[in-house]
Amino acid sequence: MQVQTAISTEIPSAPKQRRRRWRRDSTPYLFLIVPLVLLVAFTYIPVLNMFWYSVTDWDGLDKNKEFVGLENYRDIATRPELYGVFKVSLYYFFATFIQLGLALYFATILSFNTRFQSFFKGVIFFPYLVNGVAIAFVFLYFFRPGGVLDSVLAAFGGEGLQRPWLGDRSTVNYSLASVSVWRYLGLNFVLFLGAIQSIPAGLYEAAQIDGANRWHQFRYIIAPGIKPVVSLSFILAIAGAMSVFEIPYIMLGGANGSTTFVIKTIDTAFKFGKVGLASAMAVVLLVLILIVTAIQRILVPDEGGELT
Amino acid sequence: MSIRTGHLSALLVAFALGATACGSDGGESLTTEPAGTADDGSPDDATASDVSGSITVLTNRTDIVDTVFADYATKFNEQYPDVDVSFEAVTDYEGEVRIRMNTDDYGDVLLIPNSVTADQLPDFFEPLGTVDELGAEYRFITEQAFDGQAYGIAQTGNANGFVYNKAVWEAAGIETLPTTPAEFLADLQLIADNTEATPLYTNYAAGWPLGQWESNRGSISNNPDYLSEMARTDAPWSEGSDHFVIDSLLYDVVAAGLTEADPTTTDWETSKVDLGSGAIATMPLGSWAIVQVEEAATNPDDIGYMPFPNQVDGTYYSTANGDYKVAINKNSDNKDAARAWLDFFVDESGFAFDQGGISPRIDGENAPQLAGFAELGVEFTELAPPPAGEEGLTGSIDSEAEIGAFEPIYRQRIIDAARGQLDESKEDIFADLNSRWAAARSELGVE
């Protein structure tokens, strides 16, 4: 199909043609310069600086930074108060299984034609949009003695179940992990829903003709189709569980046994002025997440799935 | 769009975003040459008509920056009409200003963050005069001094003890203030038995109020050299020491169930209102808090202030220490104007008096809120400056040991142990703190 694109009727000379082509080809790169500059300035350069700080004993203010080699890394490996906090991340890690399970369940039943579909989708996704600080305050009131949770339990006759949800070390991490599940369920739900809806509808009809019920449809059509999204969500969830910070920090400041690795890093940097050690902790976390991502890539490689 | 427009718009976007991303000098105040003053780096005495320019004053008082401080600026301008003062109130003062100090842009006049060590003072602040010279006029000069030079003057002074609701204490049947920790515990028990109030509120969740307990050090034994001695001992939490007494009292109060039901859900702002109304009986805070609680109280006359329940030879002692110290940025372009404001603020503005504190001037008037101390015969203990070369040593050991004397972490641990959440006893915690202190001392090579 011929399209008239020339603006003038003149045929441009060779150098002009070359210049025009250069301009056209370089346009996308000019657009890319902006995010790249921001990325380098605000991510890569600070991270490189952080690698440098991690081999010094800088306190965040001093004009001199003294090189100490791998002493900070040795501290992290040998001091239980620094590596022991990963235990708290386990609570959030196991909570993500519940989170993904619920998200998958809701996504599956809401991908078929259910009544009030849009309303439920909105309700499930809404918590993800709310600011983390607001959520922290809401749940502080929710969990306080005589607060919402205790009142609801009392209304259903469950007074015996009332306890200091945040004050008791045996329940505090479960409480905080459930806040995390509530908050991030919506994101996983939306991702799964999108993946499920990308499966061609014809497959369901064909399956129904062959006599498959909903469970068979899930097991043989939906599950294989959304495998890449599930494995991606899983890897994000593990990385998220290792770097949990916002909810325990805003709600409790890391007190009462809710300190996570990132909270410990922040405290080390800003409460004790050990920026060198804290930088080393951040580097350790980065390496751990990279290892986990690498493992996932090996176990569940990116495959091109075809369903038709 | 055509190729040409697309290309052009790409360039424009790249330029615009690049220009905003780099170079954040937009907020810097314009500086005008101060007429007739020598710019030799040290704040000279200049006559009022000579001093001019714009200065930025950093403060942590977000609550009164637009009201009280604005009034001070107006009064200041009566004397120095050519100086333009603008205020910047910073919510997370310690954290944010410390980071800003890595640049040159941290205001002209600011308060010295507590985390700055003494040997770092000359790198960031302008020397205000020698310790001997300024020490004759002002209190607490040695608290931010190094090598004989003073770098900050206290904006107000604080006494330390407990803010309490007199009406609740009377209703519980207590007639005289406690003189020993055991009497204090007994009094709190009376409050628990006879009134509805929470006897003592720890403010565990907010965290920073737990650091207020630390300020009582030195007064328990009335020992001005307490900090230097603390740096020399391997067991600061041994039986009978100030820290042992203070932290034991905290442990015992919580263990006896005389504090709030769930510490993890405490709230600072409502605690002030509750103390004012009588829902809380006692809170350990510096005297700076008296004014804030009175403002939140239905009946300000109910609010009283008591020293730490401990007497040495029959006399109460309370540690007096300077609040934040006002200092001048070493990189300021308007040091004369900054010095003029600093002098006005500590000498004439009446800030210390308004805030219910001890005046930073030796000849200044103390606020009426502390009149009760005079009646009780409370004497002030001021911690002595460390010997030359050892400035900030105790703080360094503290940071190295990761204990955090003014941080909430180790006292939250004490509270958790006292309410049964941790398997540790008071003795276990003190033993651990002592061993960490000793390890830090050897790490830093202190004899």
In the three-class reduction of DSSP (H, G, I as helix; E, B as strand; rest coil), residue B149 is classed as strand
- Which chain B residue shows the shortest CA-CA distance from A42? B21
Distance CA B174, CA B190 (A): 8
Confidence class for position B446, pLDDT limits 50, 70, 90: confident
Helix (H) or strand (E) holding A127: helix A117-129
Q: Do A144 and B265 touch (CB under 8 A)?
A: yes
Q: What pLDDT is attached to residue B178? A: 94
Task: Look at B7 and A30 and tell me if their CB atoms are within 8 Å.
Answer: yes
Which residue does chain A place closest to B203, by CA atoms? A252
pLDDT surpasses 50 at B35:
no
- In this complex, which of A41, A60, A256 lies closest to B264 when CB atoms are compared? A256
Nearest beta carbon to residue A30 from set B11, B204, B421 = B11
A2 pLDDT exceeds 60? no
B2 contact residues in A (CB cutoff 8 A): 7
Whether residue B23 is predicted with pLDDT greater than 70 in this model: the reply is no
Taking an 8 Å cut-off on Cβ atoms, the answer to whether A61 and B95 are in contact is no
Which residue in B has a C-alpha nearest to residue A5's C-alpha? B2
What's the pLDDT score for residue B47?
54
* Degrees, nearest 5: CA angle A40-A51-A280: 130
| CB nearest to A61's CB, from B116, B204, B265 | B116
Superfamily of domain B162-320+384-444: Periplasmic binding protein-like II (3.40.190.10)
Q: Where are the alpha helices (DSSP H) in A40-85?
A: 45-53, 71-78, 80-83
Q: Which residues contact A211 (CB under 8 A, 6 or more apart)?
A: none
Query: What is residue B58's three-state secondary structure?
Result: strand
Burial class (CB in 10 A: 0-12, 13-18, 19+), A138: middle
Q: Which residue of A has its CA nearest to B409?
A: A255
List pLDDT tens digits, range B201-251: 999 988 889 999 999 999 999 999 999 999 999 999 999 999 999 999 999
Helices (H) and strands (E) in chain A, counts: 16, 0
pLDDT > 60? residue B101: yes
Is the per-residue pLDDT at B28 higher than 60?
A: no
pLDDT at A242 over 70: yes
| Record: contact A253-B205, CB cut-off 8 A | yes
Mean pLDDT, rounded, for A28-37: 92
Q: What is the CATH topology of the domain spanning B46-154+323-357?
A: D-Maltodextrin-Binding Protein; domain 2 (3.40.190)
In the 8-state DSSP scheme, what is residue B66? T
- Chain A residues with CB inside 8 Å of B18's CB? 33-34, 37
Q: Taking residues A65-86, what's their average pLDDT?
A: 91
Q: How far apart are CA B243 and CA B245, in angstroms?
A: 5
Which residues of A, range 47-76, sit inside 8 Å of B by Cβ? Answer: 59-63
CA atoms of A50 and A91, how far apart (whole Å): 29
For the segment B239-280, what is each residue's pLDDT rounded down to a tens digit?
999 999 999 999 999 999 999 988 988 889 899 999 999 999
Note whether A16 contacts B: Cβ–Cβ < 8 A: no
Q: Which of B137, B108, B100 is nearest to B125 (CA)?
A: B108
Residue numbers in B near A81 (CB within 8 A): 402
Query: Rounded to an integer, what distance in angstroms lies between the CA atom of residue B38 and that of residue B363?
Result: 31
268-297 of A, contacting B, C-beta below 8 A: 268, 270-274
Instruction: Let me know if the fold of B46-154+323-357 is the same as that of B162-320+384-444.
Output: yes
Beta bridge partners of B303: B165
Cβ-based contacts of A270 with chain B (< 8 Å): 95, 98
* pLDDT value of residue B6: 57
Axis-axis angle for helices A261-270, A275-299 (nearest 10): 160
Q: Are strands B311-312 and B303-306 parallel, antiparallel or unpaired?
A: unpaired
Q: Do B265 and A270 touch (CB under 8 A)?
A: no
Residue in A60, A145, A270 nearest the CB of B261: A145
Residue A305 has pLDDT above 60, yes or no: no
Q: How far apart are CA A83 and CA A103, in angstroms?
A: 31
Residue of chain A whose Cα is closest to the Cα of B415: A256
Phi, psi of B280 (to 5 degrees): -120, 140
Portion 188-227 of A in contact with B at CB < 8 A: none
According to the model, what pLDDT value does residue A283 have? 95
Looking at residue A163, its pLDDT comes to: 86
Q: Over range A300-305, report the average pLDDT.
A: 61
Distance of CA B436 to the CA centre of its chain: 25
Q: Which region holds residue B129: left if phi is over 0, alpha if psi is between -120 and 50, else beta?
A: left
Residue type, B350: G
Interface of B with A in 11-30 (CB under 8 A): 11, 13-14, 17-18, 21-22
The CA distance from B412 to B418, in Å, is 10
The mean-pLDDT minimum among A114-128, A203-217, B51-65, B414-428 falls in: A203-217
Region at B107 (left for phi over 0; alpha for psi -120 to 50; beta for the rest): left
Tokens of B190: 């009376």
Segments making up each domain of chain A, as ranges: 81-299
Residue A291 above 60 pLDDT?
yes
For residues B437 and B403, the answer to whether their CB atoms sit within 8 Å is yes
Alpha-carbon distances of B415 from A245, A248, B104, B184, rounded to whole Å: 23, 19, 41, 18
Q: Does A38 touch chain B (CB under 8 A)?
A: yes
Q: Which among B10, B14, B421 has CB closest to A256?
A: B421
Of A30, A169, A268, the CB nearest to B421: A169
Chain-centroid distance, C-alpha A176? 16
- Name residue B275's amino acid: L
Round to whole Å and give the CA distance between B112 and B151: 9
On the question of pLDDT at B48 being above 60, the answer is no
The alpha-helical segments, DSSP class H, found in B283-418 are 288-296, 335-347, 351-354, 371-376, 393-400, 409-418
Is any Cβ of chain A less than 8 angstroms from the Cβ of B412? yes
Contact state of B116 with A30 under an 8 Å Cβ cutoff: no
Nearest to B120 among A30, A61, A274 (CB): A61
Name the pairing type of β-strands B53-59 and B83-89: parallel
Q: Which residue of A has its CA nearest to B402?
A: A272
How is residue B107 written in tokens? 């205001």
Alpha-carbon span A240 to A185, nearest angstrom = 13
What are the boundaries of each domain within chain B? Answer: 46-154+323-357, 162-320+384-444
Higher-confidence position of B14 and A70: A70
**Looking at residues A254-278, what average pLDDT do you find?**
92
pTM of the complete model: 0.80
Given pLDDT bands bounded at 50, 70 and 90, which one contains residue A197?
Answer: confident
CA distance to A37, A62, B85, B152, B384, per residue, from B141 (Å): 47, 23, 25, 7, 11
Is the Cβ pair B14, A61 closer than 8 Å? no
| Predicted confidence band of residue A308 (pLDDT cuts 50, 70, 90) | very low
pLDDT band at B447 (very low <50, low <70, confident <90, very high): confident
When CB atoms are compared, the residue of B4, B123, B416 closest to A63 is B123
Residues 6 or more apart from A1 whose CB is under 8 A from it?
A: none
- Looking at residues B330-351, what average pLDDT do you find? 93
Cα separation, A33 vs B422, in Å, equals: 54
Q: Which residues pair with B283 in a beta bridge?
A: B163
Mean of the per-residue pLDDT values for chain B?
87
Lowest mean pLDDT among A195-209, B42-56, B235-249: B42-56
Residue B341, pLDDT > 90, answer: yes
Domain A81-299 sits in CATH 3.40.50.2000: no
What part of A 138-167 touches B (C-beta under 8 Å)?
140, 143-145, 147, 164, 166-167
Q: Look at residue B10 in the predicted model and tell me its pLDDT.
A: 55
Check B265 against A145: CB less than 8 A apart. yes
- B421 vs A: CB within 8 A: yes
With contact defined as beta carbons under 8 Å apart, do B82 and B341 qualify? no
Cα–Cα distance, B254 to B256 (Å, whole number): 5
Distance CA A260, CA A262 (A): 6
pLDDT at B230 (0 to 100): 92
Given CB atoms, is A27 within the 8 Å cutoff of chain B? yes
**B120: chain A residues, CB-CB within 8 Å:** 61-62
Q: Do B261 and A27 touch (CB under 8 A)?
A: no
ipTM score assigned to the predicted complex: 0.78
Edge-to-edge strands, sheet with B129-130: B129-130, B149-150, B145-146
Full 3-state SS string of B286-320: ECHHHHHHHHHCCCHHHEEEECCCCEECCEEEEEC
Q: Does B135 or B15 have the greater pLDDT score?
A: B135
At residue B174, the pLDDT reads 92
pLDDT at B346: 93
